[in-house]
Amino acid sequence: MKHKYTIGVLGALFLIAGLIAPVSAYSLLFFNPSVVESNPGEQPAIDLILEGCNAGISGYALYLILDNPTVASFGEITFPSWVTINKVEHINSSTVLIQGADLGNHVEPGLSTSNLAKISIHALTAGYATLSAEPVIVDDDKKGRYYPISKTASIVISGAGPNPMIPASR
């Protein structure tokens, strides 16, 4: 009887450990810089970076979204040299689908951070916009998939007033 109890407890512990392990290993999709200040007519560039890609990257598809297309719009989107096949599809004035693949296995397992794209933004008029990335798929080199947590970038075009992220001094 004691033997069956021990096997049951060990089985439960392995099950719990199996559920916790995937949660502790996460990846993060973020923009650098996270705050872009610009003037109307300029075209600042923002890097899209994946952190926690320890199993390499074989390919990805992501939506890039600007929440205020009257303030800023997408310019040229370029890919790093390891992205051997890429595609940019403009869905509408505020959304772009980007896709890339690493056919040469340049982003191999062991790297923790990789640049996915450089995004040029057209600063149109004074105001604020938020740039976000929504992953469709991000596959690793081991036939697995990343489910990254995604952070946004703030775009501040001069003439919009004080930066809402910095409290006004009294």
Query: Could you tell me if residue 140 is inside a domain?
Result: yes
Q: What is the CATH number of the domain that holds 67?
A: 2.60.40.680
Structurally, the chain folds into a number of domains equal to 1
Q: What is the pLDDT of residues 41-77, one digit of tens each?
A: 999 999 999 998 888 899 999 999 999 999 999 999 9
Termini Cα distance of the chain: 72
Query: Could you tell me if residue 16 is inside a domain?
Result: no
Query: Could you tell me if residue 127 is inside a domain?
Result: yes
Query: Could you tell me if residue 169 is inside a domain?
Result: no
What is the pLDDT confidence band of residue 20, given thresholds at 50, 70 and 90?
A: very low
Query: Could you tell me if residue 133 is inside a domain?
Result: yes
Residue closest to 66 by CA, chosen among 127, 3, 2: 127
Q: What is the pLDDT of residues 73-111, one digit of tens each?
A: 999 999 999 999 999 999 999 999 999 998 887 776 676
